[in-house]
Structure 1
């Protein structure tokens, strides 16, 4: 089960590498404290997370001159742990979008193939980690915005249990769904960051992993299904019992999330929509404007549907400890992928949006490469609320016997 990988080649500085991927909005002169569990770790944070004295633009012309007065709580914790916060990272404007091309800073690019997207909305975070520009990045995940870039860029990323990591000092999309999550090359590094941001995870025993057939076989790129199925086989060889399961209400979950998020985003940006809609990136404006047509009654119905979805997961997690699906059902699309951003968003987020209804954590892990394009493919592991430790345990065991996380793109800062 030990899979080979190409080692990183010698390369230029982080700034020179970023010329190729455009992952950084603002460089920060920060050497770190030199003491603590994250001493020596170079960290980038998504540009909607406040860093005191630094522009926090949300990749929008609206906030081009906005300078944060204080550190977000997550930044404070990182610095207290010795990390050096060296950059704010590119993103989809106001964290709305799954390709990150709707950025006032110009779209970030995928270091594995710079004509392709890094996914989003935390696209700069995924690209910066994959290219070695930073060791650790923070993104935000509302409907998949940590997990999708992690998958597209071949790194690990966590959407934590709701409320496990503070959102203080983070500009919102939909407060009910917003989370802050760490991204790094390895699951171990993600777990170490989680311990700093939320407290040490509780170790959990995992014996049974549920795999919904519909997530592997239905409407999935065959090359993606092939790679994820091989990962399932690896986990079975590690001794986990693989159990076919069904996820109740999964087919309608994506629409529920869209209804809630677009409704909330339209109300957060109501004044900007009224006064200067021309300042939005076109794709952002198109998506946020959808929320203006969603009534309060429809938003309440979405909240009810979320409760039903979560209630349906209770017996599922009595049967299995973790659920496994592909992170993204399609290959990483090119930057020039067509004009229908809404259709592209639905397709890329088809498997992440349902788990955003869940209160518990989901971990994205790289599991190989698409046999035709050579782009990364990821799986996501989901557990009950507070069971991040279960995900880290499975992810670390998987990475101990595979080598996908060691493979580096050609556009990369040397180790």
Structure 2
């Protein structure tokens, strides 16, 4: 009897097998479809197209501190440094071939969903023009808070999903299989429930996971949803974290966990482990963010698959109003018993960052908790001030200490 794999071992095995299949896609009679991370990839999986995410590959290079080098190459080609570091590092990789991984296979088609941002759409259009390849943009109007308008928005998105299916049929010359889509949706629904269960384990005290664990754990949700191995991975991960909870094991020991923090925005990828250690030295653990919850889908399998797909993908936090985002974040504060927040103004991700000042004001007013706001870039080290940010973090924890003494 073979020994059961840990979640870490499973993640590596799933990723290795996925990439191996992708690099041999054409030999297997399959196509490669580049996709944005938030997009109805279930349609790709159901239609036997292998989804590849240039964002994930960019993260690997940015985490390895290759951002400045790759981005500089692209700026020399005429692109502004105000563009997303994901796009700049990806284009830099394509110009130089430099990467900390084996790279990613070339695409046959593109699916861009602007529920994340508009830069992704333009980035994919640039790549599509270079290869004279087909690209489909799944347009998601902002999910405003008026219920009647939302109904019309969802109807519009369902029509687009039908157009996307027609697009896939035209590219592949193959009829779309709705029964296969229902099977894929079943796996997506199951894995989404387990992924959310994993994230919500940060409610325990001490918390057995930090946002850094969540960011590592979300990778399989991004690129393998709609598959049975995705379900198996999250079941294993939940079992492992539950075992930690049962033993009272936290990211920090219970007596040292002073501050349970909210994080706004994407992470600063090249400071990933440094931030975890620095905040931990002050008794702080970042528990969650709206970003990691972006893949906490709630698919209703009793509905038409296209309807529940449309409802979920159009309503992601990055496509919601500031008011909605505030409601989502406030809910996390209550559920996770958070007593601090760090708000990252990410120059690479303006679509998410433009709301940060207003969101900070709303959350501070509603929770009474002060916020630390800092500006930098998620992937380009040239825009990170080590001394300034460390000083501000130190000052912030001094503020929290004083507040804690006052309320004690």
Give the TM-score band, short-chain normalised.
under 0.3
Structure whose alpha-carbon radius of gyration is higher? 2
Greater share of strand: 1
Query: How high is the TM-score relative to the length of structure 2?
Result: 0.25
Between the two structures, name the one with larger relative contact order (CA 8 Å, sep ≥ 6): 1
